[in-house]
Chains A and B, each alone.
Chain A
């Protein structure tokens, strides 16, 4: 099965039709085309809109200060590489913080940490039409993806949503193409199990 073709690299292709545009306009257009998806991706992964905004802002700044002079068709993979590295570093820092908190608490409390997806803002609160069915489906999808291990999450979102092929995904994740295939297949298996009922 190929994820590519279903989305057809739409966001990247749109951003790369930059002929005749000033460099900054082209960069603005590119960032506009990827920012919302990048934010959702980071929010699903971190469970925090604020942290996700920081990650996306950092990725945008790094791209513009270091790579704006590169050809626009390289911006997509570069941006994803920077963003995915940022998300991975965020998880490392969180892991470290949790270890220290456990150490400092010295086993005083054993409550499991709250699922950060539960804290995501309810975007449909003011829209009764969507509230009936849409919210449940959206939250189920977000929760299922959030529950995946980080590398599966990244492989799945880059392939299935961002439309990158296996080689581009491997570059963005900094791993081999074989690893991408494995992570993607495992993610699909888990999501099938989790979301089957929503397709009935």
Chain B
């Protein structure tokens, strides 16, 4: 016999109510451990924008004179340090190709390849 949709809605509402009650009713110790885990995760977060974002995040907390000194030091380092010209590129051998392919990512990356493709797709669309 086919069930009326409202029966399923009633069942779902009952389950949700109980699950929400369980989620809201954590004891103090569990709440504290959860909060500590969250704070550790937030502290470990990298600012948006990768390494540049990290530099900018640090720079935001520096006073103006500190920022000026940092900029002057960066300019001085750039002027003093002249990198040697790179050696001319040589064609990669088959062996080097294989080594590069093999060492590029850990197995977890390939297991979640479809997920990363989706991420890339979402990033391109946005």
Cβ-defined contact, A138 with B18, below 8 A? yes
B95 to chain A, nearest CB (A): 32
- Residues B19-78 near A (CB distance < 8 A): 19, 21-27, 30, 33-34, 37-42, 44-50, 53
Q: Give 1 or 0 for each of B94-126: 1 = CB within 8 Å of chain A CB.
A: 000000000000000000101100110011001
Which residues of A does B touch, CB under 8 Å?
A: 1, 3, 6-7, 23-24, 27-28, 31-32, 35-37, 39-40, 49, 53, 56-57, 60-61, 63-65, 68-71, 74, 81, 85, 121, 123-124, 134, 137-138, 141-142, 145, 160-161, 171, 174, 188, 191-192, 195-196, 198-199
Q: Check A171/B38 contact, CB under 8 A, given A1-B9, A68-B46, A195-B15.
A: no
B14 at the interface (CB under 8 A from A): yes
Q: List the interface of chain B (C-beta within 8 A of A).
A: 3, 5, 7-16, 18-19, 21-27, 30, 33-34, 37-42, 44-50, 53, 112, 114-115, 118-119, 122-123, 126
Across the interface, name the chain A residue whose C-beta is closest to B21. A138
> Contact partner of A199 among B5, B10, B49, CB < 8 A?
B10
Which residue on chain A has the smallest CB distance to residue B3? A192
A124 contact set on B, CB distance < 8 A = 25
In the bound complex, what is the Cα–Cα distance between A39 and B29 (angstroms)? 13
Question: What 3 A-B pairs come out closest when comparing CB atoms?
Answer: A60-B41, A57-B37, A64-B45
Considering the chains assembled together, what is the distance between the CA atoms of A104 and B37 in angstroms?
36
Q: Contact at A36–B8, with CB atoms within 8 Å?
A: no
The A-B contact count (CB < 8 A) is: 132
Partner of A171, one of B27, B49, B118: B118
Find out whether the CB atom of B42 lies under 8 angstroms from the CB atom of A27. Answer: yes
Which residues of chain A have C-beta atoms less than 8 A from B50's C-beta? 69
What are 20 A-to-B residue pairs whose CB atoms are below 8 Å?
A23-B45, A27-B42, A27-B45, A35-B37, A35-B38, A37-B23, A39-B26, A40-B22, A40-B23, A57-B40, A64-B45, A64-B46, A160-B15, A174-B112, A188-B8, A192-B3, A192-B7, A192-B8, A199-B10, A199-B11
Name the contact of B37 in the complex, choosing from A24, A60, A138 (C-beta under 8 A): A60
Instruction: Provide the bound-state CA to CA distance between A160 and B14, in Å.
Output: 11
Contact of A24 with B19 in the complex, beta carbons under 8 Å: no
Knowing that A1-B8, A69-B53, A196-B11 are A-B contacts, what are 10 other residue pairs whose CB atoms are under 8 Å apart, sorted by A's residue number?
A6-B12, A31-B38, A40-B22, A53-B37, A61-B40, A74-B122, A138-B21, A142-B18, A161-B15, A192-B8
